[in-house]
Amino acid sequence: MKALIQSYRRSKHCQSPNQLIVLVPSVDTREKAQELVGKKAVWTTPAKNTVNGEVRSAHGNSGAIRVLMEKGMPGQCLATEIQIE
């Protein structure tokens, strides 16, 4: 299923570029987001390379999920699509 990368996981003073907050259009509750935990995530770069990751947990009560990627993600990944398998 396709999802949208919203932002990095961050706090007031620092951000984690290998952890992403992702919004899935068909998921709108925390319970539905919990069902996606453990699934694989794949982001395709503009150069057609792939970066793999894994859904680790739900984020908040509105159905967002937290995805841990294998390396730091570039800023150009924000507001692009990611594939959840």
What homologous superfamily does CATH list for 2-84? translation elongation factor selb, chain A, domain 4 (2.40.10.190)
pLDDT at site 72: 84
Token pair, residue 60, equals 């908040």
pTM here?
0.90
How confident is the model over 2-35, as pLDDT tens digits?
A: 999 999 999 999 999 999 999 999 999 999 999 9
pLDDT at site 71: 86
Dist CA 69 CA 53 (whole Å): 4
How confident is the model over 31-80, as pLDDT tens digits?
A: 999 999 999 999 999 999 999 999 999 999 999 999 999 988 999 999 99
Cα torsion angle, 31, 36, 2, 53, sign: positive
Is the separation of the CB atoms in 56 and 66 below 8 Å? yes
Q: Give the residue among 25, 5, 14 at the shortest CA–CA distance from 73.
A: 5
Is the separation of the CB atoms in 22 and 36 below 8 Å? no
Query: Could you state, in order of their start, the residue ranges of all structural domains in the chain?
Result: 2-84
